[in-house]
Amino acid sequence: MFDALSDRLRDVLGRLTGRGHVTEADVDAAMREVRLALLEADVNYRVVKEFVARVRERALGAEILESLNAGQQVIKIVNEELTELLGRGDRTFRLTGQPAVVALVGLQGSGKTTSAAKLARYLVKQGRQPLLVAADPYRPAAVDQLVQLGRSLSIPVYAAPQGTPVVRIAQDGVAQAKRTGRDVAILDTAGRLTVDEALMEEIREVAAAVGPSEILLVVDAMTGQEAVNVAQAFAAAVPLTGLVLTKIDGDARGGAALSIGAVSGLAVKFLGTGERTDALEPFHPDRLAGRILGMGDVLTLIERAQETFDAKAAAKAAEKLRRNAFTLDDFLEQMQQMKRMGPIGQLLEMIPGMRGLANQAQGAVDRGELRHVEAIIQSMTREERADPSILNASRRRRIARGSGTSLPDVNRLVKQFGEMQKLMRMMQRQGGRRPSLPFGR
């Protein structure tokens, strides 16, 4: 479907290399694909219309760069325009005031409470001392939820006595932060519908009473065409300063963020990337552009790799790759490093063209196949790991028994490792095709 946008564009335009320019008909064919793809990503239809018109104009005027074929050229233009759109607005996260006040607002179920906890944890990492303020007295157990999250993070939570008006809760929470020397107060407000005038008035009063330096609209990445109206209604009530885009760890494209950015100029400041409280990331427009286009997010992958990879070990592995001396031992070590980087599905998803594989790989991990691979390698002797070619039938049977797997499992791993070595040699020589993974099919 959407994954194939890059491929589809290449199909439509791919054979035009060498002509020097693309015809209007070619571009129109490509623009139909772009339009469909963006609509499937839940980008607002008006935004899509303008966007396609702009890309069309640029594509018609563009000379084909020597290094790129027409398809790639159009993708490049689309990507640049998307990045530009997503990059609009101010992404600075401002904490001013003693304490600085951050308010999270949004529809029911968009992920405000979870985001509040994540943001608190993020700020602690930045050396701040946040106080979480439970300002949702409506939803049953919403206060409990924040208190429990705070407890699990050892971050204090202000919870007002039952029956306290919401504006008062906010004021008391901020006062509490001041008194206890916390430098940021994070307000978790109740979910509200934009048509609920009483509650929209309430949030207006809360904002007026405590003057947050950041009022973030929490938006579910799965939101459809209504995202724009929701953002505009909230912006009309309170001075929004940005967005938190949540549940981006699913397979939703997050076109909502693009629409809101294009229409209201609000920038995404944070991404919610999972259910754990550490799953919050600062936003990078080029990366979401790639995601919306299905082109991957290599930069985040590299960043995360840098955070978790042992640089020396990685250099060693790279050197071994070059010398064709990459053994199963090295493979095991690489795999263990990968595991530290987070869910493998998420990792693969960041690599262009890997979305399908990503789901498959995550499935393999969830089914414990990666553990099997580990067990198999760990059941080998040193000699066997260094040179799998000595693995005869009897050795393989022993390994299967030792690792609690079956003979076919062992055979598959050995075979796939061999293929991977071959592939790596190929990739050494030139950028090659997609590597297959040492598990699954």
CB of 396 to other proteins, least distance (A): 29
Q: Is the bond preceding residue 388 a cis peptide, omega within 30 degrees? A: no
State the virtual CA torsion across 71, 77, 78, 83 in degrees, nearest 10: 140
CB of 300 to other proteins, least distance (A): 17
CB of 273 to other proteins, least distance (A): 11
Tokens of 120: 């608190």
CB neighbours (10 Å) of residue 366?
Answer: 12
Nearer to other proteins, 40 or 383 (CB): 40
Answer for which of 9, 102, 131, 400 binds other proteins (CB under 8 A) is 131
Query: Under the criterion CB under 8 A, does residue 96 sit at the interface with other proteins?
Result: no
* DSSP secondary structure, 130-196, as one string: EEEEEE--SSTTHHHHHHHHHHHHT--EEEPPTT--HHHHHHHHHHHHHHTT-SEEEEEEPP--TT-
CB of 195 to other proteins, least distance (A): 3
Answer for which of 84, 197, 310, 319 binds other proteins (CB under 8 A) is 197
Tokens of 154: 């050892």
Per DSSP bridges, beta strands 100-105 and 280-282 are: unpaired
Q: Which of residues 105-124 bind other proteins (CB under 8 A)?
A: 107-111
Strand residue runs (E) in 64-115: 100-105
CB of 361 to other proteins, least distance (A): 10
Measured in residues, the chain has a length of: 441
Nearer to other proteins, 7 or 249 (CB): 249
Per DSSP bridges, beta strands 184-189 and 130-135 are: parallel
**Crossing angle of the two packed helices 5-13 and 24-40, in degrees rounded to 10:** 170
Answer for which of 15, 24, 45, 306 binds other proteins (CB under 8 A) is 45
| Single-letter amino acid code for the residue at 37 | A
Query: Under the criterion CB under 8 A, does residue 162 sit at the interface with other proteins?
Result: yes
Nearer to other proteins, 151 or 401 (CB): 151
The stretch among 10-18, 32-40, 57-65, 383-391 that binds other proteins (CB under 8 A) is 32-40
Q: Which of residues 218-247 bind other proteins (CB under 8 A)?
A: 220-227, 229-230, 233, 247
CA distance readout (Å), 13 to 5, 84, 330: 12, 23, 42
CB of 67 to other proteins, least distance (A): 33
Q: Which of residues 361-380 bind other proteins (CB under 8 A)?
A: 362-363, 366-367
Q: Which of residues 262-281 bind other proteins (CB under 8 A)?
A: 275
Tokens of 112: 């405000």
| Single-letter amino acid code for the residue at 304 | R
The stretch among 72-80, 139-147, 327-335, 425-433 that binds other proteins (CB under 8 A) is 139-147
CB of 234 to other proteins, least distance (A): 12
Answer for which of 47, 55, 116, 157 binds other proteins (CB under 8 A) is 157
The stretch among 22-30, 50-58, 168-176, 325-333 that binds other proteins (CB under 8 A) is 168-176
CB neighbours (10 Å) of residue 178?
Answer: 15
